[in-house]
Structure 1
Amino acid sequence: MYFPKAALLAAALSPLAASALAFTRPDLVLNGESPVFTQSRWSWTDCGLPSDGVHIKSIEVTPDPPKPGQDLTVKVIATSDKEITEGAYADVTVKLGLIKLLKKQFDICEEARNANATIQCPIKGGDHEVVQTVALPREIPRAKFMVDVKGYTADDEDLVCVKLNVDFMLGHNLW
């Protein structure tokens, strides 16, 4: 996944979680005939401080809830209180319960360049809207995932903090 700007850290959370969790696993089938459908849910929390450089106002996903095997469009509206420059980065952790599945650091500006994003570093302060579309893998395990994203400036100052919960558990109506 690519993060076109600091605010996109949050936007990329759901797609990143899905990509990070794309283990090879065939769809579950009951009685050899009926596929099991997921009942996907997600939520987000701004875990940042008032002194952080980026404040997430909203995160919207389409479709809502996200569906494995389909494109997911994420729209984030955020305000940046300061300019975001080369060297800004994000630490992303994906967990399944207490088990850490992924821990990776992303260079925000490099990811924006690689994605050919419309917003590039340096990113001026102000209000920003970022839209990103990604293909969700069909093989997302049926489980509840927690995604933590903590962004930092090039000077290691807190930039943004977002926690996502993504639920791809089996639905209750299997017949």
Structure 2
Amino acid sequence: MKFNFACAAALSAAGFASALPSWFAESQDVTTFDDATPVPGKNPLVFCKDHDLQKDIVSITNVDLTPNPPESGAQLAIQATGIIHEPIQEGAYIQVTVKYGLIRLVNTKADLCEQTEKADLKCPIEKGILSVTKEVDIPKEVPPGKYTVHAEVFNADDKPITCLDATVTFGGHAADSEL
């Protein structure tokens, strides 16, 4: 059950690839985002709690999701903008974990450049301002419940690109999703 939200969150969070692949089957340890800094825009994304944003290769300036929160059976439009401070090289990767409640559905490492190609971007991605728009279909078969996504993105030399977390509740009301 792939769902471009995790990668989309990571890349969009990265500020350039908010059009990442579909992965809603990867997860990690239970996470709370109470003290986390929200990603600017209309989205359920937050920067990872103990992550030093000053060291990130990408500064995410805005991520908008429509609908927000995402809904099963709907098309998700992702618009992301960010500033790339140094080129993102071939060999960059994303580590994504998705949980359904307490159950880890996915824990995977993916080639970031391969994923960005789905958003019509090719590595190396050069320094500068980058805006990306991507639409992905969310399967209507997504079981109702609370999903937690953790995505860490690294350049080929293991320098952090960004780190994002999100919690989305499917089958509930918008108030049920943590923003």
TM-score band w.r.t. shorter chain:
0.7 to 0.9
Q: What amino acid is the match of 1:124?
A: E
Q: Give RMSD over aligned pairs.
A: 2.6
Give the 3-state SS of the residue equivalent to 2:114 in structure 1.
helix
- Of residues 139, 142, 145, the one that matches 2:141 is 139
**2:39 — aligned with what?**
none
How many residues are paired up? 147
Aligned 1:84-123 pairs, distance under 5 A: 84-113=88-117, 115=118, 117-123=119-125
Superposed structure 1 runs of 4+ greater than 4 Å apart: 8-11
Q: What amino acid is the match of 1:154?
A: A
Distance 1:8 1:138, change over 3 A: farther
Q: What amino acid is the match of 1:70?
A: A
CA apart distance, 1:63: 2.1
Q: What amino acid is the match of 1:74?
A: I
- Of residues 57, 60, 64, the one that matches 1:56 is 60
Aligned 1:4-43 pairs, distance under 5 A: 6-8=14-16, 11-12=19-20, 15-17=22-24, 20=25, 43=44
Distance 1:97 1:67, change over 3 A: closer
Distance 1:144 1:120, change over 3 A: same
Q: What amino acid is the match of 1:16?
A: W
Give the 3-state SS of the residue equivalent to 1:59 in structure 2.
strand
CA apart distance, 1:11: 4.7
Measure the CA separation in 1 of the matches of 2:57 and 2:125.
12
Give the 3-state SS of the residue equivalent to 2:157 in structure 1.
coil
The answer as to whether partners of 1:9 and 1:90 remain within 8 angstroms in 2 is no
Distance 1:148 1:54, change over 3 A: same
The answer as to whether partners of 1:10 and 1:162 remain within 8 angstroms in 2 is no
Measure the CA separation in 1 of the matches of 2:75 and 2:100.
23
**2:167 — aligned with what?**
165
Larger radius of gyration: 1
> C-alpha deviations, 1:69-94, integer Å up to 9, x for none?
12111111111111001000000100
**1:30 — aligned with what?**
none
Give the 3-state SS of the residue equivalent to 1:112 in structure 2.
helix
**1:150 — aligned with what?**
152
Q: What amino acid is the match of 2:59?
A: H
Which segments of 5 or more consecutive residues in structure 1 lack a partner in the other structure? 22-41
The answer as to whether partners of 1:12 and 1:74 remain within 8 angstroms in 2 is no
Using the size of structure 2 for normalisation, the TM-score is 0.71
